[in-house]
A and B are shown apart, each in its own frame.
Chain A
Amino acid sequence: MNWAGLYTVLSGVNRHSTAIGRIWLSVIFIFRIMVLVVAAESVWGDEKSAFTCNTQQPGCNSVCYDHFFPISHIRLWALQLILVTTPALLVAMHVAYQQHQEKKLLMLTGHADAKHMEEVKKHKMRISGSLWWTYVCSVVFRLLFEAVFMYIFYMLYPGYQMMRLVKCEAYPCPNTVDCFISRPTEKTIFTVFMLVTSSICIVLNMAELIYLVVRACARRSHHNSNPSSGKSSFYGHKHSSEYKQNEINQLLTEQDGSLKDMLRRNSGLQEKGDRCSAC
């Protein structure tokens, strides 16, 4: 399991996200994880071996390094990225649960063939009802984790700037010893870069949260002003019109597999049949 494995897992979640969620995922993978793997890890690669103290006292080097770097930036970023990306799995689990429920409903209504099962797996879930709450929780947790890690960074390494020189007095170093950090400027540049992308991700998450809330309010007010369009149950409404349309489409493709024929018949049938509610 490595970053590529995480990418595979999260790409699946991408389908059920909002547009802002997809942008957020791209920013995470390209500007944070990729930069971490391709660039930042080599900058911090020699952080301990090139940490030099002006002393010949054995052990002083190790003790001073440990004192100033309780946890390396690279490890903190890796933890941050893992924790920030995992709330999306809550959404994936909820979607899987809903798909399972839909499959059960199909079996009860007698449409339990392979084609309909595939259709359940492939179609995009609407973010409404309980899925909306799960999605909002995942976005809130993402925000929380980002903020917590930025605070931890600030606590451990105040000011984000990497010093060239640190003065160390921990035992067994004699008196005060000058210790020099390797590549401080490069480290500062990458720290600032990761900080900026982290802030961009926070802004995207907040925008997504606001978007979800506004959409839900708009839907509710539309609902209140138009009570006749009220839906019975979440599943009932979805299945009656959507799967009827899908069944019609599937029947058409069975009879004649070409797209042109489907178009010819579809344009005739649309006048009679229901509109697809999954669109």
Chain B
Amino acid sequence: MDWGTLQDVLGGVNKHSTSIGKIWLTVLFIFRIMILVVAAERVWGDEQQDFVCNTLQPGCKNVCYDHFFPISHIRLWALQLIFVSTPALLVAMHVAYRRHEMKRRFRHGEKIDIEELKNERIHIRGPLWWTYASSIFFRIIFEAVFMYIFYYMYDGYQMPRLMKCSDWPCPNIVDCFVSRPTEKTTFTIFMLAVSGICMVLNLAELCYLVIKVCMKEPRKTT
């Protein structure tokens, strides 16, 4: 079970999304997951091995690394991507349930929208609208929470070159040097920018859904 399998699972959801939803999914897979797997994992690959402290005291390096990096950027991004993509599964489950209901009603001879069943595309209305809107809302919440966690843990997204550590068993204050700080800063800003774009897309999709419903209401009343 890896990113490829997640892509297969979410690819199915794509069919029932709005156009903005499809763009969001593409941005997620190409600019975030792919960049994570293909580039970012290499950059952070030697983060602990090449974290060097100016001391011979055994254990000082481990302790200082643990103090400055409670959870690595890579793992945080992986968790963020998993959490952000799973609300789409709520929609997939609701669509599957609706299709099952439509088939059941068809068998019992009730009138249903044949075009919908034939084209395998379900219109986003009724309870499905609420499920879809909730999934977008949760996506936005998770993105915001993880961006806050990043900011809280790593004060300002920039990776410093040098960190000063005085945890036991390090004697007095010890200088520790981070490996590839500029490259890490570049990728952090890139992932942050793409995360921002995804949030904007989600907000736009939410607005679009709300406006679509509001437009339908006056037409129904007139």
Contacts and interface: CB of A to CB of B under 8 A. Distances in A.
Contact of A184 (B5, B66, B78): B66
Contacts of B70: 185-186, 189
Interface string B52-88: 0000011101110110011110110011001000100
Interface of A is mostly: helix
B47 to A, nearest CB: 10
Contacts of B89: 26, 30
Contacts of B49: 46, 50
A62 interface: no
B109 interface: yes
Contact of A52 (B1, B5, B58, B108): B58
A34 B59 contact: no
A34 B78 CA distance: 10
A270 B75 contact: no
Contacts of B72: 43, 183, 186
A189 B82 contact: no
Contacts of A275: 107-108
Contacts of A260: 114
A259 B115 CA distance: 10
A162 B66 CA distance: 11
B1 A7 contact: yes
A52 B107 contact: no
Band of interface residues on A? 35 or more
A3 to B, nearest CB: 4
Contact of A54 (B2, B58, B66, B93): B58
B3 interface: yes
A208 to B, nearest CB: 16
Interface stretch (A65-73, A140-148, A174-182): A174-182
A263 B108 CA distance: 11
Between A31, A38, A266, the greatest number of chain B beta carbons within 10 A of the residue's beta carbon is seen for: A38
Given A38-B3, A186-B71, A178 B104 contact: no
A53 B169 CA distance: 12
Contact of B1 (A33, A165, A178, A183): A33
Nearest to B59: A180
B71 A164 contact: no
A183 B169 contact: no
Given A178-B169, A186-B75, A279-B107, A52 B65 contact: no
Contact of A165 (B5, B59, B86, B114): B59
B162 interface: no
A39 interface: yes
A256 to B, nearest CB: 15
A143 to B, nearest CB: 22
Nearest to A270: B109
A276 B107 contact: yes
Nearest to A51: B62
B39 interface: no
A178 B58 CA distance: 9
Contact of A266 (B74, B86, B104, B109): B109
Interface string A26-58: 100111011101110011001000101111000
B66 A35 contact: no
B42 interface: no
Contacts of A221: none
A55 B57 CA distance: 10
Nearest to B58: A54
Interface in B1-54: 1-3, 5-6, 9, 41, 48-49
26 contacts: A22-B93, A29-B5, A30-B86, A31-B82, A34-B1, A35-B78, A35-B79, A38-B3, A38-B78, A46-B48, A52-B59, A53-B59, A54-B57, A178-B59, A182-B65, A183-B48, A183-B66, A185-B66, A186-B71, A260-B114, A263-B106, A263-B114, A266-B109, A275-B107, A279-B104, A279-B107
